């Protein structure tokens, strides 16, 4: 199915609003009827993907012999976080992800990559990968967003992003794909995140993927405080129950987030902690995971600032 056909279907869906707003819960219930004969693991994962991502999980790079060996038979891993381009390359090499992931592993595919990769990606590219990777979780991306952009350009980026997620979600439902979408951040102020409310209400989303890799650089000393502030803005505006933090696993970084930040992933910290002379150690992952989750759980005792506090004094760092 070519991109033009996909876009034609989107136009058709938009012309029939009463038929396109199927809730994600009813969509999840329809999967077992729509995909033919599933394996036991696929059937279980078809339900597990609709649960929020809690705890600490590894981000990996593929294709890569060391990471693939680490994943082989690894029973300590539930979610495997991987870039879209990496998943696509493995699928092109192997036909699917089964030679890399175990049946109990759930792929969490990240759309956010270098701008060049995102700009070159088509909607059909996304649908093709998700059709093969399912059951899976996907964090969509389509446009770049930086804090140096003018207000009008930033508003256009937000509109383009929420429109892309809406279109993709409609197609996931129509194609009966066993995929859950988690929107990500394309802004930083309370007002920016208000633009997500309609999308979240329309599709009953209750989780937000906050991409934090860019909160580094020359201002790195204050970057973590700015990040925490922006995460609070998103929670106050959207009022979702769960935030999945991408790109932050340092011990100190996981402290002092809002209590709704319940999941996190990263790459460098866990690979450093699990590296041995013979490669990455499966045995060293559980203590690393437990230690980081202990830091994350400290935030449970904190209270999320009420929405009314953002009415006059916004955190717009």
Any domain includes 104 = yes
Scan for tokens 């990471």, then name that residue. Answer: 67
Residue 96 covered by a domain: yes
pLDDT top residue among 68 and 145: 68
pLDDT digit string (tens) for 25-56?
455 454 444 455 567 778 888 899 999 999 99
Per the domain annotation, does 19 fall within a domain? no
* 266 within a domain of the structure (yes/no): yes
pLDDT band of residue 222 (cuts 50, 70, 90) is confident
Find how far residue 113's CA is from the centre of its chain: 12
Residue 219 burial by CB count (10 A; 0-12/13-18/19+): exposed, middle or buried? exposed
Between the alpha carbon of residue 65 and those of residues 25, 81, 110, 245, the distances in Å are 38, 16, 20, 26
pLDDT value for 24: 52
Residue with tokens 């383009």: 160
pLDDT of residue 13: 33
Where are the alpha helices (H) located in the chain, listed in sequence order? Answer: 3-14, 17-20, 24-34, 40-48, 65-71, 84-94, 115-120, 123-133, 151-174, 190-194, 197-203, 220-238, 268-274, 285-297
Closest CA to 227 of 256, 251, 205: 256
6 CA to centre of own chain: 23
SS3 content of the chain, % helix, strand, coil (to 5): 50, 15, 35
Asked if residues 186 and 192 have their Cβ atoms less than 8 Å apart, the reply is: yes
CA distance 64 to 99: 12
Range of the domain at 107: 41-310
Give the whole-angstrom CA distance, residue 69 versus residue 10: 41
pLDDT, tens digit, 9 for 90 and up, residues 185-195: 999 999 999 99
DSSP codes, 271-291: HHHHEETTEE-STTHHHHHHH
Q: CA distances (Å), 187 to each of 54, 69, 129, 263, in order? A: 23, 37, 27, 20
CATH number at residue 57: 3.20.20.105
More confident residue, 85 or 302: 85
Distance CA 270, CA 289 (A): 8
- Residue 145 domain flag: yes
Rg (the chain; Cα; Å): 19
Mean pLDDT of the chain: 85
With 90 as the cut, is the pLDDT of residue 174 above it?
Answer: yes
Return d(Cα 82, Cα 60) in angstroms, integer. 6
* pLDDT tens, residue by residue, 4-31: 333 333 333 333 333 334 455 455 454 4
In a domain, 186, yes or no: yes
Does a structural domain hold residue 158?
Answer: yes
The predicted structure's pLDDT at residue 210: 98
For residue 153, is it within any domain? yes
Instruction: Domain count for the chain, please give it.
Output: 1
pLDDT tens digits, one per residue of 252-292 = 889 889 999 999 999 999 999 999 999 999 999 999 999 99
């Amino acid at each position: 199915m070519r991109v033009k056909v996909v876009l034609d279907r989107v136009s058709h869906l938009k012309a029939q609003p009463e038929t396109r707003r199927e809730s994600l819960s009813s969509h999840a219930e329809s999967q077992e009827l729509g995909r033919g004969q599933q394996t036991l693991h696929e059937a279980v994962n078809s339900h597990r993907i609709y649960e929020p991502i809690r705890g600490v999980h590894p981000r990996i790079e593929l294709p890569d012999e060391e990471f693939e060996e680490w994943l082989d038979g690894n029973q300590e891993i539930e979610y495997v976080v991987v870039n879209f381009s990496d998943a696509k390359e493995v699928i092109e090499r192997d036909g699917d992800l089964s030679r890399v992931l175990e049946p109990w592993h759930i792929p969490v595919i990240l759309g956010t990559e270098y701008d060049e990769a995102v700009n070159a990606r088509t909607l059909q590219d996304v649908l093709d990968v998700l059709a093969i990777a399912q059951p899976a979780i996907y964090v969509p991306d389509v446009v770049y967003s930086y804090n140096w952009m003018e207000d009008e350009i930033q508003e256009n980026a937000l509109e383009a992003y929420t429109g892309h997620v809406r279109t993709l979600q409609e197609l996931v439902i129509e194609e009966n794909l066993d995929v859950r979408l988690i929107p990500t951040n394309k802004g930083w102020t309370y007002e920016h995140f208000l633009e997500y409310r309609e999308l979240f209400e329309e599709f009953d989303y209750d989780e937000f993927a906050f991409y934090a890799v860019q909160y580094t650089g020359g201002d790195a000393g204050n970057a973590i405080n700015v990040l925490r502030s922006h995460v609070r803005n998103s929670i106050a505006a959207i009022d979702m129950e769960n935030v999945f933090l991408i790109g932050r696993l340092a011990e100190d970084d996981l402290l002092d987030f809002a209590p709704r930040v319940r999941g996190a992933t990263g790459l460098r910290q866990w690979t450093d902690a699990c590296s041995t002379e013979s490669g990455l150690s499966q045995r060293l992952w559980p203590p690393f995971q437990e230690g980081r989750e202990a830091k994350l759980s400290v935030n449970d005792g904190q209270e999320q600032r009420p929405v009314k506090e953002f009415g006059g004094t916004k955190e717009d760092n």
